[in-house]
Chain A
Amino acid sequence: MERVKVMHQCGHNTKWNIISFIEDKIGDGLIISPADLEVNKVNDLPDSVKSVSYFDPQYYLPTSEKKKLNSYPFFPKTYLEGRQYSTQLSYKCRFELAKECVQYQKNNNYKYIVIPTIYEENFIDNTYDELEQLIITPFIDAISRLQCNKPVLLTAMINKNQLIIDDMNIQLLNFLTSYPEIDGIYLIPIIQRDVSQKRISDINLLFSLMKTINALKMADLEVHLGYTDVEGYLLTIAGPNSISIGAYENSRRFDIKKFGQKGRTQQPNARLYSNVLLQWIDTDYIDSLFSMFKKANELFENNEYLNLMLRTSYNWHFTKKEPYMHYFTSFSHQVYSLHNTLQERYNDIYKTLINAKQYFSEISESGVVLDAPSSGGHIDKWITALNRYATFKGVRINVQN
């Protein structure tokens, strides 16, 4: 196994990601989001940043009227000037659009050339054919015509049904592995869940996602997981090349609404990431934790941002940067500390999870009752999913007493 890289999934406040990456030296690069950064600002990024980053063209909603997306001349709505981005367009038109997008990525010297995808609520049999005709073939042809020697990533969104229904999973894997011209997959899990449910706690789903990542790796494809949150830590057991870190929740959980005209309307509570609990804790609990739970100072990585936040004068708010900068640092340290053999990585993750379980239990005994979004309800299921995958791979598992 290789060391897992950590990529900044840029979002609304891309400047935080850039500061974290350049000044704090956190992460391995950026996943640049045109929905959040106008073309001129992206062009101004230093070459040293671009060369280790990649650009997600974000064709998810090709008719989006979002201003920043439309500042890119190759965004379908802008390029097509009112015509529908569909297979009804001539091949020449689809190819020229792809060529413009590829040329832009090549000129900016990004690490990869990314082939975009469109968002589909429901995948039906001919969705794959449409994706191939509309996007993949024109992009592959454009990459070849422009003689790009950069590795190529194909964007793929994967929903719950494609993970847990065998036939659909096989169909997806056959599709993703059918292009010898590509080098990797930019994989975006679309796991719909209630906004109050912060962690993915479905064992079958997590196990299937791990198996899918493994199958892609076995096919000699790089796997770069996008829009991941704390789950990324657990998923490292399947050996992805990179996972992502993001500031606001919509850069840690894919939300198609982000790419429409209107942004998020609901304001979330401020939260602080605990690397020990593998959970984001509602900051309403912070004072109680520090006054009632003796080991509270062990819950959060003590980096420079923690000190700034624990001052009594600090006013928590989800729009403030410190909690996210703290998370970038804390989470990436946690991922970088993982070992690079399957057995050792299993042991690392298992130990973290058992430790989290113990801490949640002690917090509860201290009288602090964490609400569902801050709780440890996911831990037992994560241990089970981890053990199930380890068993599938023939790794020796630990049995909890």
Chain B
Amino acid sequence: MAAQGPHTPGYASPEQLKNEKRFISYKSDIYCLGIVLAELILGVNPFNPSIVGMGLSCNDNILNNSFCLRTPNITISDNAQEIISKMLRYHPYERYRKVSLLIKDLEVFIYGKS
């Protein structure tokens, strides 16, 4: 594996961890925001081995695309899971292509408007 680029462990996108400079972009930020959003709800990083049940570290699970959006006590609604999952897609092309699209989905989720 190529040397990792600068990153915050547990909050970096796969392309940052793999140091794929060509693909490190605002979509890496969307990925990071997805992790933070999930952690705010769950109280724990969604890639944390303690809830994923595998991997040695969050980074390990990020590279394996293994995350969990529930804890024994907290479950995230299907609609919110859909949004966060799209933010946490492994390949950048599968994530939100524009921040405005993410905002639109969040507004529909929060306010029910489209």
Q: Which residues of A contact B (CB under 8 A)?
A: 128-129, 170-171, 173-178, 180, 215, 218-221
Q: How far is the CB of A2 from chain B (nearest CB, A)?
A: 17
Is there contact, CB below 8 Å, between B94 and A218? yes
Check B93–A173 contact: CB distance below 8 A. Answer: yes
When distances are taken between beta carbons in the complex, the residues of chain B under 8 Å from A171 are 22
Segment from B40-48, B53-61, B97-105 that makes contact with A: B97-105
Shortest CB distance B24–A (Å): 10
Residue in contact with A128 in the complex, picked from B22, B26, B27, CB distance below 8 Å: B22
* Assembled-state Cα–Cα distance A218/B101 (Å): 12
Contact mask B84-108 → A, CB, 8 Å, 1/0? 0000000111100111110000000
B79 within 8 A of A: no
Q: Which of A128, A180, A215, A220 has the most CB of B within 10 A?
A: A180
Q: Could you list 20 examples of A-B contacts with CB < 8 Å? A: A128-B22, A170-B91, A170-B93, A173-B91, A174-B23, A174-B91, A174-B92, A176-B93, A177-B92, A177-B93, A178-B23, A178-B92, A180-B97, A180-B98, A180-B99, A215-B93, A218-B94, A219-B94, A219-B97, A220-B98
Query: Chain A nearest CB: distance from B15 CB in Å?
Result: 8
- Whole-angstrom distance between the alpha carbons of A175 and B22 in the complex? 9
Residues of A contacting B93 with CB < 8 Å?
170, 173-174, 176-177, 215, 219
Interface pairs A-B: 10 shortest CB-CB? A173-B93, A177-B93, A180-B98, A219-B97, A174-B93, A174-B92, A174-B23, A177-B97, A220-B97, A170-B91
Q: Counting CB contacts under 8 A, is B25 at the interface?
A: yes
Instruction: Provide the residues of chain B in CB contact with A178, threshold 8 Å.
Output: 23, 25, 27, 92
Using Cβ atoms and an 8 Å threshold, which residues of chain B touch A221?
97
Select from chain A the residue with minimum beta-carbon distance to B26: A180
Q: How many of B's residues come within 8 Å of A, CB to CB?
A: 14
* Complex interface: chain B residues within 8 A of A174 (CB): 22-23, 91-93
Majority secondary structure, B binding face: helix
B16 to chain A, nearest CB (A): 14
- The docked-state distance in angstroms from the alpha carbon of A174 to that of B92 is 6
What's the nearest-Cβ distance from chain B to residue A100, in Å?
A: 28
Total cross-chain contacts (CB, 8 A): 36
Least CB distance, A397 to chain B, in whole angstroms: 25
CB distance from A122 to the nearest CB of B (A): 18
Collect the chain B residues with CB atoms within 8 Å of residue A170's CB: 91, 93
A178 to B24, CA, bound (A): 10
Q: Is B101 a contact partner of A220 (Cβ separation < 8 A)?
A: yes
Give complex CA distance A209, B84 in Å. Answer: 28
- With both chains docked as a complex, state the minimum distance between the C-beta of A143 and any C-beta of chain B, in angstroms: 16
Min C-beta distance of A173 to chain B, whole Å: 4
User: What residue of chain B has the Cβ atom nearest to residue A215's Cβ?
Assistant: B93
CA separation between A369 and B88, bound complex, in Å?
55
Which residue, B26, B91, B93, has most C-beta atoms of chain A within 10 A? Answer: B93
Bound-complex Cα distance A215 to B27 (A): 16
Q: When each residue 18-42 of chain B gets 1 if its CB lies under 8 Å from chain A and 0 otherwise, what string results?
A: 0000110111000000000000000
Determine the chain A residues whose CB is within 8 A of the CB of B23 once the complex forms.
Answer: 174, 178
Residue of B nearest to A125 (CB): B22
- CA of A177 to CA of B97 in the docked complex: distance in angstroms? 6
Smallest CB gap from B21: residue in A: A129
Specify the chain A residue showing the minimal Cβ separation from B104: A220
A218-B94 Cα distance, complex, nearest whole Å: 8
Return the chain B residue nearest A128 by Cβ: B22
Chain A residue with Cβ nearest B99: A180
**Min CB gap B76→A, angstroms:** 22
A170 to B99 Cα, complex, angstroms: 21
Cα separation A326 to B21 with both chains bound (whole Å) = 51
B98: chain A residues at CB < 8 Å are: 180, 220
Given the complex, which residues of B lie within 8 Å of A177, measured CB to CB? Answer: 92-93, 97
Nearest-Cβ distance from residue A128 to partner chain B, whole angstroms? 7
Shortest beta-carbon distance from A269 to chain B in Å: 42
Cα distance A129–B23 in the bound complex, in angstroms: 11
Chain B residue contacts of A175, Cβ below 8 A:
22
Known pairs A215-B93, A221-B97 / 17 extra A-B pairs, C-beta < 8 Å = A129-B22, A170-B91, A173-B91, A174-B23, A174-B91, A174-B92, A175-B22, A177-B92, A177-B93, A180-B26, A180-B98, A215-B94, A218-B94, A219-B93, A219-B94, A220-B97, A220-B98
- In the bound complex, CA of A174 to CA of B101 (Å): 17
